Structure 1
């Protein structure tokens, strides 16, 4: 069985982080080794107390940012601290059911990178739907990545991350990583996983401010890649999809 490090970024999630981490810890038996790393991004509610209380009786590592740095930075901190063969991240708000990590297992032998997409998106406002559609179309066109959902959970071999880590601290960090690791020619697959309404709290990454920050990072990275002669839009790539092929194939 493969081993998996799960990064859980947390910012003001006192209403959901406790039950979610306990549910996640229950998945350990499906993997040869399993570690949970919670990155508290300078929460100002009761989240830190809850997280440290969990660490007292669960196999859990806690990393705390001294100030709020954003989702991308929190995930990057966790990935840099991970020790196992595969790494993934699940938001601390519980919108991905903890048991969904088991959906990665059939693909881990044949692939290096597992991209996930959401089906229905309960609780999404019209603004967030529009922003997501525009973002996906823009990133796909700019970087030649035919991916349906850039902003959801991704799971990859840690060796890929060590080779080409993302540097963005905005929601663009996942898409940036996919572009950076193209040179390694990873075997990619895209699957659908569950998506639930928030248990508590509010979304932090769909604001106009967050969108503007991501837009700036996209523009900056586009010209950085172009100045290096890497015009990815001229050579589009797409991940395999389960509806197109069997779940297992020769590695």
Structure 2
């Protein structure tokens, strides 16, 4: 049985990728083409389930969706009417949710099951593009309000055992850049000021890629535990607002010793947006 991959993808803004927003052109392309190849969709190595860590479910304790099916949670505002009738009817998988709870308990965490909460747009927006057939069971997992990187790394390490059962781990966030006030202003910056900001963004992405790509688990974990000390981290993710970074941390924790990250870049508002992954087919 193949070892399933881990992918920390960038999901885009609200339902905009499903509406063909031009600012999401490369993100849409990657979700429709690159991520399916990494996951091996349509091949004998296709995962039998996906555990999806979403930036849009923040809880005190690790919480796992455990229903046989889940409604969608349209957790966004002021978008076109069609955004509120989207469907993604993939099944849940209670047995895998229970296995995750057991793995978390063994790791000293205090997990909770939730059979009621709907899948938020961090789940159904990217997965609609990645796997429109909706034929792979999905288990949704929260990130923690504490934003403690060590705990999120432990969550990932506990999930790692699922990969041997061909269960993929997918983090859905926006690790390179998620700061609403800056996102709004960067599009209107004069060229010279934009160039300065992009240089800062590139420096941040370079430091992040160095940490995430470390093949040594100790080096990878040490680098991500100190992510707030990376250059420009607080501009890319405001203090107390790092929830879109946490899915990447969980994914990095699920990567094994000697398993270096691969990555690809998309463009968003003229900035490089990185997706990191471990295992699966290398994509350009």
User: What's the TM-score, normalizing by structure 1?
Assistant: 0.35
User: What's the TM-score, normalizing by structure 2?
Assistant: 0.32
